[in-house]
Structure 1
Amino acid sequence: MHRGFIATAAWLGALTVILGAFGAHTLKQWVDADTLNVYETGIHYQMFHVLAIIAMGVLYKSFPGRWMRASGRFFAIGILFFSGSLYAITFLKAMHNSTLIPIIGPITPLGGLFFIAGWVCMAIAIHRKS
């Protein structure tokens, strides 16, 4: 197992629950339903990829190497860029400040590309061992 990645995933998982609870109980009072949906998309993708990092950490024992490590790194960067940008957009809308949204918005698909790269690296790691 790759303990560092699993520990990182545990902390990110805890953060996901905290952010999800904040969205469900507090944020919904500040933003409209469409903006809350954007925030919830960030929460969902963060949790999915926290689980992917855990899987990568467990799979590392059977499929060690740089491809599997790259997978975990790409998942973590994807969380930062994809989910982080959606959280930032939500908070900017809550503060009624939309001037930075055109700058932050393009970061979201970049995070999606990191997610895809993470899955591709995981697949390569598994196929190379076969």
Structure 2
Amino acid sequence: MTLSNNSKKFLAIASFMMALSIALGAFGAHGLKSIVTESMLKIYNTGIQYQFYNTIGLFLVAFLINFKADSKILVRSAWLILIGMIIFSFSLYALVVFSLPILGAITPIGGTLLIIAWLMVTYSIIRN
């Protein structure tokens, strides 16, 4: 199967984000466990879970883009998934690692972007 350029791009990004979620998860499990409180570790793990699940979703959207190469909505939704995931998860990582509670205030922005992105995917699927 030949992949479109956008599909290749998002498959590569998703592959990198998956490797990063595994590395960051291992860091949390082994490096942070003895340093932070249990509640802070739970916050960190929430970031890992959102990154992991949305990375799997990004793989799915990358494949959908390949089948609907002319879909600007799918490409935009893939970017929003990536941006939302970064804002959501990395704000939680930074909150825990750097003890910056103010970053918790931007986490919902990432969550909102993720919701919008997945609604865009839904619209794109229903539309055709």
Name the amino acid aligned to 2:65: Y
Structure 1 partner of 2:84: 78
The structure 1 residue matched to 2:74, chosen from 68, 71, 79, is: 68
Structure 1 partner of 2:119: 120
For 1:44 and 1:7, the matched residues in 2 are separated by 20
1:40 has 2:39 as partner: no
Identify unmatched segments of 5+ residues in structure 1.
94-99
Matched residue of 2:67: which SS?
A: coil
Structure 2 partner of 1:52: 57
Name the amino acid aligned to 1:61: N
Point out 4+ residue stretches in structure 1 off by more than 2 angstroms: 61-64
| Contact 1:81 1:110 (C-alpha < 8 Å) held by counterparts | yes
Q: How many aligned positions are there?
A: 122
Q: C-alpha deviations, 1:62-83, integer Å up to 9, x for none? A: 3331110011111100111100
TM-superposed deviation, 1:92: 2.0
Structure 2 partner of 1:101: 101
For 2:19 and 2:35, the matched residues in 1 are separated by 23
For 1:46 and 1:13, the matched residues in 2 are separated by 8
For 2:66 and 2:127, the matched residues in 1 are separated by 14
The structure 1 residue matched to 2:29, chosen from 24, 30, 53, is: 24
Structure 1 partner of 2:11: 6
RMSD, aligned α-carbons: 1.1
Name the amino acid aligned to 2:40: T
Q: C-alpha deviations, 1:82-128, integer Å up to 9, x for none? A: 001000100123xxxxxx422x1211000000110110110111122
For 2:65 and 2:72, the matched residues in 1 are separated by 10
1:110 has 2:109 as partner: yes
